[in-house]
Structure 1
Amino acid sequence: MQSFQIITPVSVLAPYIRHYWILQDDAVDTVSERTLPIGCIQLVFHKGKRLFLQNESRLQPQSFVCGQSVGFSDVVSTGRIEMITVVFQPYAAKVLLHIPVNLFHGQNVPMDEVGDAGLSDLSKQVADTPDNTACIRLIEQFFLRRLYSFSEYNLKRMSAVFQEINNQPQIQISQLSEAACLSSKQFGRVFADYVGTTPKEFIRIVRMQRALFLLQQNPAVPFARLAYECGFSDQSHMIKEFKLFSGYTPAEYLSVCAPYSDYFSEL
């Protein structure tokens, strides 16, 4: 039997955490899933059997920080699944983790290797707490304590930047640095610290998520129109990016998946 829950954070954490999700699956048969970049740093706690990463031929860590990445990942169950995931807002993980999140880029970093004793303790508490509702309370208490010791100076800059990214498919990086009132070099550094990747790479992730969102709303949209509305240079460019991010062309993707954008469905 499978159970999937999405839980909203308390209101004071909502600007920093999109949601938590809890997945439980007692199925004996192997379950496989292809995951795509969603544009958000995540914290993952495995309380059941860990998932196997087919691309890397290894198990995921027991609990880890999932950094930004480009490309898809195929994960396979190895037994009973029970996992809790914290999905941060795209530019807010640094606020609660107190570390530049570009250090996690392209990696699943075990929590006990982050160099944060508090995060390691949280991982142990979650593992030792049977009730998942109580686990969410532990996680929220941990982040509430951290929230009030952080300066929001650059966070306000990033908020302005993300309004531009979310509303303008054809955005240029120079426009984003202007929105942040920073030089190009300063902007690149601040963006990577808060978002976990470069502005150029993140725009590519958002472009892909925008395409998924439009396909989610209208799977029959012509691909040439889809490419234009999402900011791709042309249809060929969109197909190439689709292949990189999902392993499929748009037509292949529609034949095997129901389009869903984790990024835009929650704005």
Structure 2
Amino acid sequence: MTPDFHKQYRPLTSRPFLRGYAYSEYAPSGCLAPYIACFWEAGEVKEGAGERKVLVIPDTCADIIIHINYTRQTVSSRICGVADSPAVSVQKPSGDRETTFAVRFYFWAVRLFLNVKMSELYNQVLNLELVDKEAAGEFKAFLDITETSGRIAWLERFLLNRLLQATVKRQCNFNVYNAVDRILKNSGSISVKEVCGYASISQRQMERLFMQDIGLSIKRTADLVRYQNVWCDVVRQDVLNIQDTVYRYGFADQSHLLNEFKRFHGVTPRQAKEIALLNL
């Protein structure tokens, strides 16, 4: 079963319009599109440019981030699991020739590509070698690849091979996919009882499957999906109609919506929109 969730759900970062030397995104091939939101790349911070600070919000994705230092001939990698709180990433100039290349997985797909216990990745940033030593070792090949197109091609081959192995081992669970489908179609505004009822499975068993395949509880998954849907509305609408949003996504009232948004984003919807438009 190949999920088509990506056709109905496209989570956003805090600065969805950011493009250029500092940061660029690249779409995956059609075979990987159901599992991968994008590849992304960030160049080094130039000397004299000062620190680069980026607000990182819960985008319901997990990233493998590969840092390539051509000056020192080193490659390091880390895995950033799905998070439920905002953080600020600070990048400083080093004077070396380096680049950061990464792949961003949808929350329903990570387990298909990594040999990892998903519950151990929740709200964590870990050295990939501690999680999947085999993958971390293979990424040393990036020292010999200097073009973005080459990095994408290499990583796509690696991921497609991993996906084939997962398919043979049947690492995807149809009950989880059915539950995710229900959560996404309801924009996250759905109870745990409804999710389990739709999948015809007990809540206890479904919670266990979610922790195994996604690393989050059913409720937290739905909460994050709802938040991301609200954030997409904030970005796309000239002025967010709060009352309509309260009704559409099942919040108790305006205060509930604003508190929930700020808990995940760190700022109010208006402030978040200002940050997003910095690079428009």
TM-score category by the smaller chain?
0.7 to 0.9
* Residue number in structure 2 paired with 1:125: 141
Deviation at 1:211, TM superposition (A): 0.8
Q: 2:161 aligns with which of 135, 145, 148?
A: 145
Deviation at 1:104, TM superposition (A): 0.7
Query: Are the counterparts in 1 of residues 53 and 90 from structure 2 also a CA contact under 8 Å?
Result: yes
* Residue number in structure 2 paired with 1:187: 206
Deviations 1:123-142 (A, max 9, x none): 32235533332222222222
Equivalents in 1 of 2:103, 2:57: separation in Å? 16
Deviation at 1:37, TM superposition (A): 0.5
Query: Are the counterparts in 2 of residues 2 and 26 from structure 1 also a CA contact under 8 Å?
Result: no
Structure 1 segment 213-224 matched on structure 2, within 5 A:
213-224=232-243
| Percentage of identical aligned residues | 22
> TM-score, structure 1 length as denominator?
0.82
* Residue number in structure 2 paired with 1:76: 90
Deviations 1:9-39 (A, max 9, x none): 2332222222211222553312211110101
Q: 2:175 aligns with which of 134, 139, 157?
A: 157
Q: 1:10 aligns with which of 26, 29, 32?
A: 29
Does residue 176 in structure 1 map to residue 167 in structure 2? no
Equivalents in 2 of 1:166, 1:182: separation in Å? 18
Are the structure 2 counterparts of residues 134 and 256 from structure 1 closer, same or farther at C-alpha, using a change threshold of 3 Å? closer
* Residue number in structure 2 paired with 1:31: 52
Unaligned runs of at least 5 residues, structure 2: 1-19
* Residue number in structure 2 paired with 1:201: 220
Unaligned runs of at least 5 residues, structure 1: 50-60, 260-267
Equivalents in 1 of 2:139, 2:126: separation in Å? 13
Deviation at 1:254, TM superposition (A): 3.3
Equivalents in 2 of 1:2, 1:226: separation in Å? 35
> TM-score, structure 2 length as denominator?
0.79
Deviation at 1:110, TM superposition (A): 0.6
Report the number of matched residues. Answer: 248
